[in-house]
């Protein structure tokens, strides 16, 4: 199995290497990730400038071919699949992101923006995020990602899956369940702060205005708020009568792994 | 009625001013658009740097307050709504884009990325695109946008609408109908071309690989291929049982306007 | 005479159009300037990305062919001379900059960085700055620039001149003289301020730490501090025994023009 | 002795680590370098945006505190001296650059632009470059840099030195001498190539137009062309009667080190 790992926090972010390490023995892992933090970059791809790629000489995990891309997360997946890899990928894993990508906020997430590019190319794609910006605990997310990849690899789901996975910021044993969810509304909107360099006004956009809306029990927002893993399949874009394949084995696998039954 | 006009082709693009001109007498129009072409930027917003805004001293249409933003289309809407305008907007119109934003390709469109930010703020938002990159004919799209804004203003639709509108590149009288559609699949994927500055390889991402998939008759792709206006409400993200409000009056209004009955 | 006007404050800056207007009847003026403020960009040129140019449809002064460049001031001159203009230029004027470019500070000035590119191509090049960041008075600088261009055009100086011209922020009649000067030391160094977006530290570089060093009477810094125009020829790079051509006619011309004798 | 090492090829460039390694046992070495290749960026500093710094967790040479800066080479030195280091530096070494920075071309070099910022802060500053873009041999340059730092440390030169050092691309034993030189003229100018993304023209600036001018024997260009090390003190900016301190011990030290007498 050939696995592409990417993210939007950048090739030096710890979450990337946690998940790459967790997946390493499941197949041939390649990393193609932005050379800089790209939080908020969403689905952006670089059409109007050239994109540069640098192979990392000594990646944190030996043996994982690693590219640092001067571009967006979407660029990283496009370059990896179309130019940098001699063979096709079976799965794309994007993350582990520091900060949730819940509800419609996922649309402005580079983590999800990268995963879209795998999905659109017919590759199973999984975005993984932890719902905290500080003191992020990656262990449960790495464990969940590994379980999901294993379950997908052992099945023959077709067409490809897009899964947006969010975890509470907890140790594995404090997570209460894993739910197949749907997207909630926006969780945060943006505030704008004015600043000045003494001569001219500038603006800081802050993605920190909590939208106080109750979240229905079947949404990703509700699940994470209740210490549960939210596994959201992307669906409704596509076919009016679309039914997600049965994802319960994926959720069961995640809880099994978090409870120590993983492998 | 207060109208925000934005785009992703930049504040100097002709399509922006065609639609601003068409809407001018319907209310108070403000323009907040990127200072540079931002095609492909998708939903990106600038969270990690400051954003600068410059009020344009002599905009192409006198009397329209105009800001050129050193940022993304999403930034333009966020800044306009949160910082630049003293009063709230009733509708956001993004476009007229040169090039279609059909099917899931719309996710990487800055035109749509801007409209999302209006929609998420509870404002009716309409993205308008013409399906050609060259010799773009804006007249039908400007006419359609004007009709849609008028119809929305005359109704009391709630919650706010998100409409992704695509037109064939035709004169108004050659357009055969206006359909309420759903999103098709991806229409184009990307190729990657290698280049070099003599020392180092770089990559050009080209959004030009046509996906040869038949488009169902109720999709936006089919409509535009058949010389029809495609009006796609964004829906399925949100509520499982969501039903679009009746959009037939909007489609009828567009065809009436294109046939010369507009006002 | 063919004149290229550029700057680093950007194609929309008022100083650019003041000097373009002052030079307009002396020859064929073309403007090639950055589309964004580029203060501090120094000698930077874009070697690792493509540069884009947009011809401005309705420049503030009718009849002046104008390009907005997505690049640095140096890029603007390189593109104008090597690609955008069908015929060569006789003189490059860069400015009128808002803020002094005195002493060795000129090395980090985009205004001067642009002028270097003209000079290196064998074209007389003049950088013009006013020593204030607020309430900048452009009239004297525009008048001085016009006089200098006229004097150079009427002479046959060879090799080409590089002049770095700084004016006090005064009305023409309050300027006490025009001196041929040499560069002083650095006038300002930089402070660094820490900031944070809540998660991560960032830094603002501020070019505002006044270096408290006495300036010798023959320096540009002394001249401007004493309400005089400083005209500094670039020289000592080049030949050990280099002597500037006699620049007194240029200084005399400037004072004549400021005193109302200009034309 | 506290030594700051920087460059413009980026924190991952081999030349940076060759010189850092060569200097390591001479004192306390810190690295502050751009996270991306910044060739051509010249004296540019970032005044209009924030600058971000990331401490590199596992630098190629253990024990050297290393910062990757999302900014220019000048930014790297400004941040290191003003914000990142708790104590002042005694010397700044910028390089080893891949490609010469000879004659007035040095003005558009980020390698030199970084060194200027040390020099302006009263710190001895040395820019080191090798005159080849391919198959660059760093050994002689690293050896020369080490010798220069040792000689400066052992003397009490005041005011601080600025040295622009260029080497031929040779093994140490093929280098014929080390000369105290002055700057030659421009060695290369730029060509501009047109390109297109299918819709719009763009431009590539190439710094590859050789200026065919004879170089005088006392210039840096002549020295390197004749297989010699060129050591150019920056001088003539400053005082009309300025005399360089006696730099012969520096040149002698370099040749001694290249001949195997170094330590």
Size of interface A-C (CB pairs under 8 A): 22
Burial pattern B118-157, b for ≥16 Cβ within 10 A else e, equals bbbbebbbbbbbbbeeeebbbbbbbbbbbbbbbbbbeeeb
How sure is the predictor about A73, in pLDDT bands with cuts at 50, 70 and 90? Answer: very high
Residues 6 or more apart in contact with residue A214 via CB below 8 angstroms? none
**Residues D175-197, mean pLDDT to the nearest whole number:** 92
**Residues A181-209, mean pLDDT to the nearest whole number:** 91
Check the CA dihedral D102-D106-D111-D114 and report its sign.
positive
Size of interface C-D (CB pairs under 8 A): 141
Q: Say which of B50, B133, B200 has its CB closest to residue D49.
A: B50
Residues 179-218, chain B, touching A (beta carbon < 8 A) = 182-183, 185-186, 189-192, 194-195, 200-207, 218
Cβ contact, residue pair C53, D203, below 8 Å: yes
pLDDT above 50 (res A238): no
Q: Say which of A46, A185, A235 has its CB closest to residue B205.
A: A46
pLDDT above 90 (res B142): yes
Cβ contact, residue pair D60, A58, below 8 Å: yes
pLDDT above 60 (res D238): no
Cβ contact, residue pair C51, D205, below 8 Å: yes
Contact partners for chain D, using 3 or more CB pairs closer than 8 A, are: A, B, C
Cβ contact, residue pair D58, A60, below 8 Å: yes
Q: Measure the CA–CA gap between B192 and B207, rounded to whole angstroms.
A: 9
Q: Say which of D58, D70, D197 has its CB closest to residue A36.
A: D70
pLDDT of residue C183: 87
Q: Are D178 and D141 in contact (CB under 8 A)?
A: no
Q: Which residues of B touch A79 (CB under 8 A)?
A: 192, 203, 205
Q: Say which of D44, D52, D185 has its CB closest to residue C44.
A: D44
Residue D59 contacts A where some CB pair is shorter than 8 Å: no
**Residues A56-65, mean pLDDT to the nearest whole number:** 96
Pick the residue from chain C with its C-alpha nearest to D190. Answer: C78
User: What would the pLDDT profile of D47-62 be if each residue is shown by its tens digit?
Assistant: 999 999 999 999 999 9
| Selection from D86, D113, D85, D83 nearest residue D97 by Cα | D113
Q: Say which of B49, B133, B199 has its CB closest to residue D133.
A: B199
pLDDT above 90 (res B84): yes
Contact partners for chain B, using 3 or more CB pairs closer than 8 A, are: A, C, D
Residues 6 or more apart in contact with residue D4 via CB below 8 angstroms? D30, D31, D32, D77, D80, D81, D85, D89, D91, D92, D93, D118, D123
How sure is the predictor about D97, in pLDDT bands with cuts at 50, 70 and 90? Answer: very high
Q: Are B166 and B224 in contact (CB under 8 A)?
A: yes
pLDDT of residue B241: 57
Mean pLDDT of the residues in chain D: 93
pLDDT of residue A159: 81
User: What would the pLDDT profile of B23-80 be if each residue is shown by its tens digit?
Assistant: 999 999 999 999 999 999 999 999 999 999 999 999 999 999 999 999 999 999 999 9
**Residues B216-237, mean pLDDT to the nearest whole number:** 89
Residue D256 exposed, middle or buried by CB count within 10 Å (0-12, 13-18, 19+): middle
How sure is the predictor about A243, in pLDDT bands with cuts at 50, 70 and 90? Answer: low
User: What would the pLDDT profile of D146-179 be if each residue is shown by its tens digit?
Assistant: 999 999 999 988 888 999 999 999 999 999 999 9
Pick the residue from chain C with its C-alpha nearest to A206. Answer: C197
Pick the residue from chain C with its C-alpha nearest to A51. Answer: C49
Start-to-end Cα distance in chain A:
16
pLDDT above 60 (res A236): no
Cβ contact, residue pair C133, A50, below 8 Å: no
**Residues A166-170, mean pLDDT to the nearest whole number:** 98
Choosing among C73, C110, C118, C120, which should be mutated to test the D contact, i.e. which has the most D CBs within 10 A? C120
User: What would the pLDDT profile of A246-262 be if each residue is shown by its tens digit?
Assistant: 889 999 999 999 998 65
How sure is the predictor about B240, in pLDDT bands with cuts at 50, 70 and 90? Answer: low
pLDDT of residue B200: 87
Q: How far away is chain B from the Cα of A261, in angstroms, using its nearest Cα?
A: 34
Residue C47 contacts D where some CB pair is shorter than 8 Å: yes
CA A224 to chain centre: 15
Q: What is the 3-state secondary structure (H, E, C) of B192-238?
A: EEEEECCCCEEEEEEEEEECCCCCCCCEHHHHHHCCEEEEEECCCCC
pLDDT of residue D199: 81
Residue C242 contacts D where some CB pair is shorter than 8 Å: no
pLDDT higher at A235 or A206: A206
pLDDT digits (tens), chain C, 263 positions? 999 999 999 999 999 999 999 999 999 999 999 999 999 999 999 999 999 999 999 999 999 999 999 999 999 999 999 999 999 999 999 999 999 999 989 999 999 999 999 999 999 999 999 999 999 999 999 999 999 999 999 998 888 899 999 999 999 999 999 999 988 888 999 999 999 877 889 999 999 999 978 899 999 999 999 999 999 998 644 455 566 678 999 999 999 999 986 55
Tokens of D79: 């941040």
pLDDT above 90 (res B251): yes
Q: Measure the CA–CA gap between C125 and A135, rounded to whole angstroms.
A: 56
pLDDT of residue C156: 83
Q: Which residues of B touch C197 (CB under 8 A)?
A: 47-48
Choosing among D77, D237, D239, D243, which should be mutated to test the C contact, i.e. which has the most C CBs within 10 A? D237
pLDDT of residue B137: 98
pLDDT above 50 (res D132): yes
pLDDT of residue D240: 53
Pick the residue from chain D with its C-alpha nearest to B134. Answer: D199
How sure is the predictor about A64, in pLDDT bands with cuts at 50, 70 and 90? Answer: very high
């Amino acid at each position: 199995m050939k696995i592409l790992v990417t993210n939007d926090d950048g090739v030096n972010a710890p979450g990337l290497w946690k998940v790459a390490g967790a997946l390493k023995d499941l197949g041939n892992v390649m990393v193609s990730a932005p050379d800089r933090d790209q939080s908020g970059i969403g689905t952006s791809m670089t059409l109007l400038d050239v994109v540069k790629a640098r192979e990392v000489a000594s990646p944190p995990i030996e043996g994982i071919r690693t590219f640092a891309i001067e571009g967006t997360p979407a660029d990283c997946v496009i370059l990896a699949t179309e130019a940098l890899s001699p063979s096709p990928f079976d799965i794309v894993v994007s993350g582990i992101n520091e900060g949730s990508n819940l509800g419609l906020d996922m649309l402005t997430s580079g983590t999800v923006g990268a995963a879209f590019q795998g999905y659109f190319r017919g590759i199973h794609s999984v975005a993984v995020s932890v719902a905290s910006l500080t003191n992020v605990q990656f262990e449960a997310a790495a464990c969940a990602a590994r379980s999901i990849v294993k379950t997908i690899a052992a099945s023959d789901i077709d067409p490809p899956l897009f899964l947006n996975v969010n975890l509470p910021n907890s140790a594995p044993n404090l997570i209460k369940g894993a739910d197949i969810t749907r997207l909630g509304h926006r969780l945060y909107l943006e505030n704008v702060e004015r600043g000045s360099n003494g001569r001219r006004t500038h603006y800081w956009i802050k993605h920190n205005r909590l939208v106080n809306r109750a979240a229905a029990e079947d949404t990703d927002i509700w699940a994470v708020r209740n210490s549960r893993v939210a596994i959201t399949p992307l669906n409704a874009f596509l076919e009016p009568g679309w039914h997600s394949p049965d994802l319960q084995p994926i959720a069961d696998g995640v809880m099994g792994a978090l409870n120590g039954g993983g492998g």
